[in-house]
Amino acid sequence: MAINPENPLIVQSDRSIILEADHPRFGEVRDRLMLFAELEKSPEHIHMYRITALSLWNAGASGADAGEILEFLEEVSKYPVPVNIAKEITDAVGSYGRLELIGDGRGGIVLTADEDELLERLGELSHIEELLLPDALSEKGLPVRPECRGQLKLVLAKLGYPARDLAGYREGKNLAVELSDTLPDGEPFGLRSYQRDAVEAFYAGGSEHGGSGVVVLPCGAGKTIVGMGALAAVGKETLVLTTNVTALRQWRRELLEKTTLTEDQVGEYSGEIKQIRQVTLSTYQMLTYRKSKVDDFEHFKLFFENPWGLIIYDEVHLLPAPVFRFTAEIQATRRLGLTATLIREDGKEKEVFSLIGPRKYDVPWRSLEGGGWIADAECVEVRVELDPELKEDYQLAGRRGKFRIASENPFKMEAIKNLVRRHANDHILILGQYLDQLQLVADELGAPLITGKTPQQTRDELYGGFRSGEIRTLVVSKVGNFAVDLPDANVAIQISGTFGSRQEEAQRLGRILRPKQDSGCAVFYSLVTRGSGIAASSREQEFAEKRQLFLTEQGYPYRIIEAEELVETVEPERERAGTKEVQCS
């Protein structure tokens, strides 16, 4: 029997949730759902979410309780919340914190539980027993091998018992650092309200509940500034791990501009420079470098033995890759993860949760857009016909082959040229997956190309030319997905991608979301080969629909147009100097 047929939500017994996209309360309810459920599908008039153990653990870690979640669902649901769902929400939210890692007062770590029986059962499991100290007894619980702290949290999460880590941290060496009041150009500087909230959520006033966790903010919203705010709050020597040298040097520039740190306090540890300073910047690749699979990690020991008081993991969603996991063994240190999205297509979000900490702060992208903190954006999918000469090859290819043929469709070139002409006075990034395709586009447009093989000095010069306006169009491979500070970029043209990666979609959209000086809008184009022959959809279309999920979850409008329509809209007068063509509908 319906509670209120006018409500926008239906909660089903299989943990799925259906939300009416046309309902007046859609935006409000969507933002609340994001705190404890994950978007799965978003057809025209409904959005479909799923409640997962991880989404509920994050909700519990953020301070929400099962009663609040159930009260909200009852308030906005058309029908009664199924009894089994109410029980599962209560159990999952309540499971976070049933186990705790605490200090034993003598420098050791002990695993405790709210029930002795649960602790006994866990201690008898062979894959947990090997992570415990042998023949060690404690009145408080099970003594843990200190070096296995991170591994134990991973195992417990997989068993459905995420542990709250209250074992404390190394103090680390003190570092007096404050945020600057003004920038070098004299402009006032300070944390925005949401950045202050993010820092406080992570630091928690220095209590045992703070000091480890993930802050999720869109590109352009100032995640680096949140990291600097955390550094100032903690006041300890800090290691910052980034994705590449470009990102490393952007961090260095920001730290010197926006904090009281001096040149001799900030060090770079890269392939070119080996400096260990009070704040040291390095990359994941540097930290885990070794000459061969049987050799030791040459640089890891240096970082492991240094008494850092804080480690900041930039783009933390990359951490679970097997080689990066070594960096997470530094469990006795405060850890802040920064990312635009925790989505991973391999389902390893639990590893970030266990190794770094729970999600401490998240805010809908469109909320920040509404406040003017990131640029307005429109997302447009451009459907392109497959080159007839490739149709037979496409039909005979396997699933992976079909995707690549569709992605590298030569007919995309004309659409790219039309878009570049349409936005002749804008700052355009062309982003893609396949190097041969990108080289061809760069040659046709006479635009510079940046790939993983481009020397760092050349990259810096090209990025600098784009920032200054000397370069209007830049072609970039996957190296442009992360931590490239190009504030004037307002048009992105995605010509190929990594299958259905929503995480990549988020990163690429983020390249154009930094607020514009003229408060202008940004446009994110995705070129997709449409279905042909007997197939209604191409393989690229199928993956594009999956990537679109992230954009839809964040509330961005998503239009689909045909490539032929671009020809009709590109007119000579659009190319007159000084007229930008970006407009959001």
Per-residue confidence (pLDDT) for residue 289, from 0 to 100 = 79
Q: With beta carbons less than 8 A apart as the criterion, state whether 526 and 407 touch.
A: no
Question: Considering only CA atoms, which of 230, 228, 300 is closest in space to residue 266?
Answer: 228
- State residue 317's pLDDT score: 82
Task: Pull the structure tokens for residue 176.
Answer: 């007096």
pLDDT at position 508 over 70? yes
Query: How confident is the model over 215-270, as pLDDT tens digits?
Result: 998 888 889 999 999 999 999 999 999 988 988 999 999 999 999 999 999 999 99
**What is the mean predicted confidence (pLDDT) over 483-509?**
78
Burial class (CB in 10 A: 0-12, 13-18, 19+), 42: buried
Encoded tokens for 402: 């079909």
Predicted local distance difference test score (pLDDT) of residue 267: 96
In the prediction, which pLDDT does 575 show? 44
On the question of a common fold for 193-363 and 375-575, the answer reads yes
pLDDT value for 345: 64
The alpha carbon of residue 316 and the mean position of all alpha carbons in its chain are separated, in whole angstroms, by: 7
CB 142 within 8 A of CB 119: yes
Query: Pairing mode, if any, of strands 38-41 and 9-11?
Result: unpaired
Name 302's Cβ contacts closer than 8 Å, sequence gap at least 6.
Answer: 269, 276
Mean pLDDT, rounded, for 484-505: 78
Average of pLDDT values for 547-556? 74
> Which has more confidence, 64 or 203?
203
Look at residue 366 and tell me whether its pLDDT is greater than 50.
yes
pLDDT digits over 192-211, tens only?
999 999 999 999 988 888 89
- Chain Cα centroid distance, residue 501: 12
Partner residues linked to 559 by β-bridges: 380
If you write DSSP's letter for every residue of 380-405 in order, what string do you get? EEEEEPPPGGGHHHHHHS-HHHHHHH
Query: Has residue 484 got a pLDDT over 60?
Result: yes
* Out of 106-115, 352-361, 554-563, least confident range: 554-563
- Where are the domains positioned within the chain? 9-95, 104-166, 193-363, 375-575
Looking at residue 206, what is its pLDDT? 87
Cα-Cα end-to-end distance for the chain? 41
Tokens of 306: 């240094």
Q: What is the pTM of this model?
A: 0.82
**What are 208-226's pLDDT values in tens digits?**
888 999 999 888 888 999 9
How many Å is the Cα radius of gyration of the chain? 25
Give the per-residue pLDDT at 517.
Answer: 67
Task: Tell me the percentage of the chain whose pLDDT exceeds 70.
Answer: 90
Residue 585 has pLDDT above 60, yes or no: no
pLDDT class for 385, splitting at 50, 70, 90? very high
State the average pLDDT over residues 87-112: 90
Backbone φ and ψ of 320, nearest 5°: -65, -10
Strand partners, 336: 213, 312
pLDDT above 70 (res 573): no
pLDDT at 519 over 70: no
What are the start-end ranges of the H helices in 23-174? 26-33, 53-61, 66-76, 83-95, 116-123, 126-129, 149-158
User: Which CATH number, 3.40.50.300, 3.30.565.10, 3.40.1360.10, 2.40.50.140, labels domain 375-575?
Assistant: 3.40.50.300
- Which CATH architecture is the domain 193-363 placed in? 3-Layer(aba) Sandwich (3.40)
Q: What are phi and psi of 222, to 5 degrees?
A: 95, 45
Rounded average pLDDT over 285-297: 81
The residue with greater pLDDT, 67 or 31, is: 67
Tokens read off for 409: 């469709």
Antiparallel, parallel or unpaired: β 99-103 and 109-113: antiparallel
Distances (CA, A) of 226 to 249, 337, 340: 17, 10, 13
User: If you ran DSSP here, which 8-state letter would residue 162 be given?
Assistant: P
- The predicted structure's pLDDT at residue 483: 56
State residue 579's pLDDT score: 45
**In the predicted model, what is the mean pLDDT of residues 419-424?**
93
* pLDDT score, position 202: 94
Lowest mean pLDDT among 57-66, 76-85, 173-182, 507-516: 507-516
pLDDT reported for residue 67: 93
Please work out, in degrees rounded to the nearest 5, the angle formed at the alpha carbon of residue 249 by the alpha carbons of 246 and 253: 135
DSSP 7-18: SSEEE-TTSEEE
Residue 574: what pLDDT?
43
Q: What is the mean pLDDT of the chain?
A: 86
Kindly give, in sequence order, each residue whose CB lies less than 8 Å from that of residue 455, ignoring residues fewer than 6 positions away.
Answer: none
